[in-house]
Amino acid sequence: MQIFNALMARAIPFIPRAIIQKISRRYIAGTTPDEALARVQQLNAQGFSVTLDVLGETVSTLQQAEKTASDYIDLLEAIHARRLNAHISIKPSSLGLLLDTRQCARLAARIIDAAELRENSVCIDMEDVACTQKEIDLFSRVRAGHGNVGLALQAYLKRTYQDIEVLTREPNTLRLCKGIYVEERTHLVDDAWRDRSAINTHFLNHVSRCFDSGSFVGVATHDAALIEQVIALAQDNGIDKSRFEFQMLLGVCEPLRDKVLRMGFNVRIYVPFGMDWYGYSTRRLNENPSIAGHVAKALIGL
């Protein structure tokens, strides 16, 4: 089965877009805010909190970045009006990070101000390694004037050890994931480029550092063994459940997410929506070849 999954993952560039779109319905909450907010309401009713992600990364003009910021603010207002348990995740490249860092910081601060006004919060997503330092600098800049902003970090990068030491000198809100972007091996820990389980030890080290520093940490993983290790680490160190949460992607490992919720832990679902469903879906398929079964079913049922 693993061989089949790997072959399907390599075949992604040759799979018709119609197939990818059919698969994406499981992992993407539609293309419009109304569709996404309806899904948030359903998840909230089940006991999950949510982070909403508007799909789309690098923009080509500052005008597009301005439009993206306005869309995020409109989304925050809709969340507030419907009294939903959801915050938002923003990708700095969609706010012009690679065009004008000062403009990006201005737009990010504008979004964070809007969230604060509505008693909400924002997570700055981490992108590929070319953006890592820029995004940490952005976080440091906007964090100085706001307490409602967090930052994602990727455990598969060697540099995360240094980054997390700096970021936890005072309590912060951090989101820790294994990492999804394809990077040069020199940037990665151990055998992370071929074995994602090799990241687990480093992931746990980073979670431990967050616990020690008093930082809140979002543990973003679908690795059942890693989740058990994080729970054991928290229990051994007397860490209250309010100090961390587990985060999982919409439509992925639903039995596991339900189990973790039943155990009494906070679980937040990462809910993407928007027009850029193709890029997001292909990244998910590359990251998780076990989704190959869904690809096969879609091919049969098309």
Q: Is 71 a catalytic residue?
A: no
Inter-residue contact 13 to 266 (CB < 8 Å): no
Cβ neighbour number for residue 1 with a 10 Å cutoff = 9
Calpha distance 114→5 (Å, rounded): 43
Rounded Cα distance, 242 and 181, in Å: 30
Contact 122/87 with Cβ under 8 angstroms? yes
Helices and strands counted in the chain (H then E): 12, 8
Is 100 labeled as catalytic in the residue annotation? no
Of 39, 53, 143, 175, the active-site residue reads 175
Cα separation, 154 vs 177, in Å, equals 5
User: Cα–Cα distance between 246 and 296 in angstroms, integer?
Assistant: 30
Residue of 53, 125, 163, 223 marked active site: 125
Residues marked active site are found at 125, 175
